[in-house]
Amino acid sequence: METISENKCFGGTQGVYSHTSAVCGCEMTYGLFLPEEVEFGPVPVLWYLSGLTCTHENAMVKAGAQAWAAEQGIALVFPDTSPRGDGVADDDAFDLGQGAGFYVNATEAPWAPHFQMWDYVTEELPALLFENFAIDEARQSITGHSMGGHGALTIAMNLPERFRSVSAFSPIANPTKSDWGRNQLTAYLGSDEGKWAANDASLLMREKGFPGPVLIDQGTEDQFLDLLKPEALADAIATRRQEAIVRMQKGYDHSYFFISTFMEDHVNFHAEALYAG
């Protein structure tokens, strides 16, 4: 593992690190904020999964999460959104290929050799972090935006024993019924739609739900509302009677201005779960 940078930040440290990923078959980069409490022992961690076209850097720089995480004594992890490099498959479209990993394990050519983002985020990167930093494996929560909101919800519902809480900003909520999902799931997983269900938050909510608290924020002026389909997730939450807060935020769009406005709420929401019990 290589240290790219480490900067003092709200009493803690904002680091950027790279490592050779066996899962993705390339160099991967991630951001990690550690609060000053890490000097005294392992701290709980909140995973932040970013959206389409983003890298580890977008949320790390724009979301303002470190201030609130420092206040709560919580570590933040900012993984990249896909494998990258000259030997990694790509596409001219912004919503497929590099920058658009969708947090799935691709099974189809040309994506399968590198696009194993599910295993990277749920297995390889956690193992690396717990081995090298004072992070409490027993206290984890997860959040994300757009494609990352999709990832946060699907990962949490498939690994409910791992995460104490889950939240999302404007998640891609029903990709099996949206053009912003069907194209990508076909490319990465093939045309058998039966293989897609484990990567659809609305379907998972109906089937499994989540044993902990859920928070969803969606802007009413989001330019991608028809692709995100928040109503499908809200209906699934209501049908299952899932413990959840679903908020339509009047006037807000899909941008980091929206995310940074409500980031304090999300960090505090997760802190309550991470420090409970």
Is residue 277 pLDDT above 90, yes or no?
A: no
**pLDDT the model gives residue 180:** 87
Mean pLDDT value across residues 113-139: 98
Can you read off the two tokens belonging to residue 270? 């997760």
Residue (of 210, 45, 228) closest to 142 by Cα position: 45
Q: Which two tokens stand for residue 174?
A: 């029903």
Q: What is the CATH number of the domain that holds 61?
A: 3.40.50.1820
pTM of the model as a whole? 0.98
The yes-or-no verdict on residue 152 having pLDDT over 80 is yes
Total domain count, the chain: 1
Catalytic annotation, residues: 146, 222, 254
Asked if the model's pLDDT at residue 26 lies above 80, the reply is yes
pLDDT band at 270 (very low <50, low <70, confident <90, very high): very high
Structural domain boundaries, residue 252: 2-274
